[in-house]
Structures are given as structure tokens and as C-alpha cells.
Structure 1
């Protein structure tokens, strides 16, 4: 059974409950002062605490999607990361479809009725970055009358460490987009769902690291080129948006601000506005002060030409640490008179999936209104 399996979580909960009841029941019998009784008490306490920690840890991972598998948890995951692209020019597609599945909660398994979620590998021609992703294709994509139609695209990024799978089955992006389009609240849209961490386990903060992964270039150029080469989408920025939560939210805002000719709109759910430097990131800038400044969105707004793009930021008055910075960011963008800014401010809500699930439907509607279909 997998790490994110509900069966594993239930087994851990039941085991913890049984050990707790067993401790209460057996404690009087182990009240003596001999080594066997003492060893029994220690064993019961240790076993109960380990079971409780395991249950809480599994539940937390289920809620936040930190690790996708046992191999990922124990650092044995080797299927992702920065690789050298050995394909010749004009060779295989830069998007390799691994599998296809139905949309969770859909009443039909037919793609033309319910859409489809494809698990893919995306390969960057210039950055030589390869990373897995999930692509949601709406029902309209498969309908005969839409063979010549090109669809708008939203790139959807997780936080760090995050898993792309969580965007599908925890935050429910495909099913939410399908329901909103069905009810006429947004246009049919392709979603490209992935981690911003394209060189795991390192947190690159979507920076072009000197001598390291060129993550910003991957999202600004290679990802768009790869998706455009494989799917019926338009390459113009008016058809492209980017969104993310937490680290992904920071990446989305930064990439749209730095590359308005790549993305017409960006949304940051609970974003921050400066790239951190910590053990997970390492030295991102190699002493280059200009690169470090450009990774600060407040510095960008003050010193660079304001980009002609639309931005959406979210926060909560109670529960989010980014609330004051978000208000400051909104005010700074308003001062440019060029970049357009919108916001979703909840009365309360923490930095978690539950909060983002409340923000995703209105965010997708906002994004849909700013992208053009051809």
C-alpha cells in the first residue's frame, strides 16, 4: 500500500487506538516494581507514541502532500530532476505521455464527455530540464467540432516540496475547472500541473542559478514551447496564465512580472514576495547582487519597468503570515498604473489546502476572464 493510501492511514489510526486502549487496560497489571513490569510499561508507552506519531504524520502528509511515496519519503526517489536532453533536433516530442486517466468525480469515462488527465514528462530543449507533470484536457478538446480550436493554458504550480499529484486529487484542479466550465463560469482551459521544484530535492525558487538549473528560463520559455509543440494551444501570451500556492505562488508572480510576453496573467495563492536563502535553496545567486534583487518582487516594482500583465494575490486577515506583505504588494502594484492587480482576502484561513480550495474557484474564473481563446 502506498504512502498516500487511505488504507495505510486507517491502519495507523486503528493501531494507535488499539495500543492506547491496551495501555489503559494493561497498566494496572504492570504496576509492579520488577524489570518485566517496567519493561512492559516502557514498551506500551513507546509503541503507543510511535503509532500516534505515525497516524498524525500520515494524516498531515495526506493534507499537505509533502511526499508522494515511500521512496520519496526516504529519499530514494530517482525519477525526477535535471537531466541532459540527448534528443536530436526534430526528434521525439518534448512532451511524453506516460498514462491517461479519467477526471476524479466525472460521471463518464469518455474524454469527449468528461475530459482527461494525462501524466506526462516535459523536456526543456534549451535548459535540458526534464520534469513530470499532469495535464488536464477539457472535454471540448476531444470533441470533433473543436478540431481546429486552440485552447488557453494555465500552468499550475505546487508549493515546496509539494507533489503534482496533490493538485489533481487534493486540490481538485481538474474537477473544479470542469464543473466551472460546465456551468458557464469559465471557458474550457488546459491545465499543466507540476512542481516548481524541477531539480529535487533542491528548492530553486524558480531562479536561473549561475552554473545550476535554469529554472526561470524553463518556465518562461521551454515549458511553453514544449506544450505548444504537443497540444492545440496558442503561443501568444494572451492565451497563457500561471498560478501557484506558497512557493508556487511566488514563482507564478515573478515569472509573469519578468516575462509579460510569455504570460498574460498570474495568480499567487498565499505567496511570498522574496526568494529565501536557507538549507533547502543553497546559494541561489552565487554572490550576484543583481540576481538577488530581481528575485525580490518589491525591488522589481520599484526599479524595473512595470510589466503589462494582470496579477492576483490571496491572503487571510487571520492565519496567514503574508497578510501585511500582501497589502504592501497590492499598494506597490497600484502605484505603477500599468500592472493590474486583484486580490482575494479571506477573514481567516491558514497556509493549507483547505484555504486554497476556497480560493481556487474564484481564481480560475478570474484567470479565465483574462485569457483569450482562438
Structure 2
């Protein structure tokens, strides 16, 4: 049973009702020695406490899509089949153009809270060795006969940590907000792709490749990207692709966009950070070498020093002390053709929460429309 599904929510509510009714109905009717009666009453109280805590957890989890499955919560699911050393380009000496197409079967998302039109597939990454679900939403123009020969740009959506791949659809209501705007021509139509990013138990991968542990970078920038191109009318050039994330996902969006200008044109980072060590469970943050190499500021400095500033557009938003300074730092390093737009979020806007990021969805997609081309 999914942790974010309606059945689990209804089950927890039912158990809470039972936990409240039981003591009222049986408290004075329990027979037996005093020790037995006391133990029975204690168990009823503990049952009531546990069910109350469970309901609170379910409400918070449903609102923020932190844990999607029991395996995510307990750390029992493995999403890494292999983690070979893939080298600096994350390809392991292979050429993506030589890889056969990976045609997938899609089914409607099993959670009604993500809204209509969201599809899901379970992908086995051929390059990365990662196994995980990927959610896809197609813009309203996709099935319009007038667009039957048209390709569409793609935006990969990354959640925070911990975070479900469904968060952008379930908590941020991205598809629900964008569909009418795309229909009215106020936002450029784009395919939305939300892949799993929680790949290791109790660890934020930081979207890096760590031989022997996980190839999260290659999962997101190679396997997921190729799968979408193979299965949909998606553009295959860098100008057709962007990343958007919040919190830990914001760090990933900026890092991956700057690291792979040959794959992405733009990145959106909401309430993120540059130093991966700011996320205590980050694999990159715990490794001195990776901590430096995966910092977007280091990536940009290195590219500038090599005389190759990336053709990357970044949009960084955040409140003071929560992403804004990270954006200012990147903007100070940007040299053409790199551009960095920084948006200050008022301190009273709502903090580091879904409400703040949800309100930014239309704005960031209008901004993305200036850079994405099919």
C-alpha cells in the first residue's frame, strides 16, 4: 500500500476512530485481575497514541510528498542495480547515439492527487544502472492534430530530499497550473518529466556519480533523457531541455545544467544551495573532492578558467539565507554566454515550503519559455 495513496489515508483515519472508540466502550468493562485490567487499558492508550501520530505523519507526507513507498520510509528498497565507473562524461565510453531505442510501457499514475494526464513508467537505466519510476505529463497541444509533426521541449522536475517523484504534480500542482496557461498561449507548451531521485537509503545522492554506490547524474542526464526522446516527440538538442528543482533539487538543477551544457539549455533553482554539505545526508557533501567538484560555483569557475563558459541560463530564486545568496554568487561569476537571473523571495512569503514553490511555477515556466526551443 502506497504511503501517499488514498487507501492508506483512509485506513489511518479508520484506525484512529477505532482507537478513540475502544477506550470509551471498554474502559470500565474490562474483567480480570487489576494487573490484566491495567495492561489492557495501557495498550488501548498506546494504540490511540500510535494512530494519532500516524494520522499526523500521513497528513504531512501527503502535503509534501516526502516518502512515496514503505521502502522509501524504511530504506528497504534498492534502486541501484549497478554503479560502474562511467568516467568524467558519465557515459562509460559509450555513445548515446549508438544505443538502441528503449521503448517503454506507460500507465496512468496510480495517485489521483497528481491530476489527470500524468503517466508512469518503470525505467531500467542502461547506462547508469539505476532502476526507478518516471512520471510524464504531455502538454495540451501534444495530441492536437495541428501539432502532429511538432516536437516539444522538455523540463525535468526534481524534488527536494527526501522527496517523491510525484511532488511536482501532487504538491506543486505543476500540470494543473500550467495546462490552462499553455492552452491560452501564455506559457510555451512543454513535456514535464519527473524521475525518481531518492535512490539510496538514508542518503541524498546530490545528483552525482559515485562508482560503486550510485550513478545519479547519468540516470537523470542520460537514461531518463534518452527514454523520453525515444518514446515521445521530444526535442533532442540542448536547446530543447531544461531542469527545475526546489531545495536539494534546486542544487541538482543548477549543478547538472552547468555541468552538461551539451544536454541542457537552462536550469531553475528554487531555495537551493551551492555547497552540497549544507544537506547533511548528501553523498557529495561528505566527500571532500566531490564537495568541491559538485558545487555549481566551482563548475562555473572551472569552465570560465578553461575559456569555455557554458551556454547555460539559470534562474535562481530564494529568500535571504535560503537560496538568494547562492544565486548572487553564481551571478557574480557568470560570463557570456552564461546568464543568471536572481529573484529575491520576501521573508514573509512562507519560508522553505511547498506554498512558496507552488506560487512560483507559472513564473519559472514563463522564464523557461524564453530559452527553450523544440
TM-score by length of 1: 0.79
Tell which deviates more after alignment, 242-251 or 175-184.
Answer: 175-184
Alignment deviations for residues 255-304 of structure 1 (CA, whole Å, 9 cap, x no partner) = 111222321111112212222388844577766x3x33122233344554
Over 3 Å counting, the alpha-carbon distance change for 1:197 and 1:301 in structure 2 is same
CA gap of 1:151–1:281, structure 2 versus 1, over 3 A, is: same
Deviation (angstroms), 1:29: 8.9
Q: Distance in 2 between matches of 1:219 and 1:101?
A: 20
Deviation at 1:91, TM superposition (A): 7.6
Distance verdict in 2 for CA 1:2–1:263, change over 3 Å: closer
Q: 1:99 aligns with which of 107, 114, 125?
A: 107
Change (3 A) 1:106 1:293: closer
Task: Give the structure 2 partner of residue 110 of structure 1.
Answer: none
Q: Give CA deviations for 1:99-154 in whole Å, capped at 9, x if unaligned.
A: 146996999xxxxxx8x432123444433434320111123222222222111110
Report SS of the residue matched to 1:148: coil
Count residues with an aligned counterpart: 355
Q: 1:23 to 1:169 in 2, by over 3 A?
A: same
Contact 2:83/2:212 (CA < 8 Å) preserved in 1? no
1:356 Cα shift? 2.1
**Is the CA contact (8 Å cut-off) linking 1:264 and 1:370 kept in structure 2?**
yes
Q: How far apart, in 2, do the equivalents of 1:205 and 1:361 lie?
A: 26
Structure-2 residue corresponding to 1:327: 324
| CA drift at 1:164 | 1.4
Q: Which residue of 1 aligns with 2:90?
A: none
Per the alignment, in what secondary structure is the counterpart of residue 166 of structure 2? helix
> Which residue of structure 2 lines up, in the alignment, with residue 232 of structure 1?
233
Name the structure 1 match of 2:87.
Answer: none
Q: Summarize the Cα distance change of 1:281–1:142 in structure 2 as closer, same or farther, 3 Å threshold.
A: same
* Matched position secondary structure for 1:232: coil
CA distance in 2 between counterparts of 1:358 and 1:314 reads 12
- 5 Å-filtered alignment, 1:325-364, equals 326-338=323-335, 339-343=339-343, 345-346=345-346, 347-364=348-365
1:205 and 1:95, CA in 2 relative to 1: closer, same or farther beyond 3 A?
farther
Question: Is 1:2–1:69's contact at 8 Å kept on the other side of the alignment?
Answer: yes
**C-alpha separation between the residues in 2 aligned to 1:58 and 1:70?**
12
Does the C-alpha gap of structure 1 residues 149 and 200 become closer, same or farther in structure 2, counting only changes over 3 Å? farther
Task: Tell me the C-alpha RMSD between the 2 structures.
Answer: 3.7
* CA–CA distance in structure 1, aligned partners of residues 273 and 59 of structure 2: 26
Q: 2:120 maps to which residue?
A: 119
| Distance across 2 between alignment mates of 1:330 and 1:90 | 38
Q: CA deviation at 1:57?
A: 1.4
Does the 8 A contact of 2:327 with 2:340 survive in 1? no
User: Shift of the alpha carbon at 1:23?
Assistant: 5.1
Structure 1 gaps of 5+ residues are 108-113, 317-322
Hey, what's the Cα distance between the residues in 2 that align with 1:241 and 1:19?
Answer: 49
**Unaligned stretches of 5+ residues in structure 2:** 85-96
1:36 deviates by 4.8
- Superposed CA deviations along residues 75-103 of structure 1, whole A, max 9, x for unmatched, are 4445x333589xxx978632412314699
In structure 2, the CA distance between the partners of 1:83 and 1:214, relative to structure 1 (3 Å rule), is closer
User: Measured at CA, do residues 230 and 84 of structure 1 come closer, stay the same or move farther in structure 2, by a change above 3 Å?
Assistant: farther
Contact 2:268/2:316 (8 A) holds in 1: yes
What's 1:66 paired with? 66
Does 2:254 correspond to 1:253?
yes
Alpha-carbon distance in 1 for matches of 2:145, 2:74: 46
TM-score by length of 2: 0.79
SS of the aligned residue for 2:137 comes to strand
Deviations 1:30-51 (A, max 9, x none): 9xx9435543542343222112
For residues 351 and 317 of structure 2, the distance between their equivalents in structure 1, rounded to whole angstroms, comes to: 12
Q: 1:180 to 1:28 in 2, by over 3 A?
A: same
Match of 2:88 in 1: none
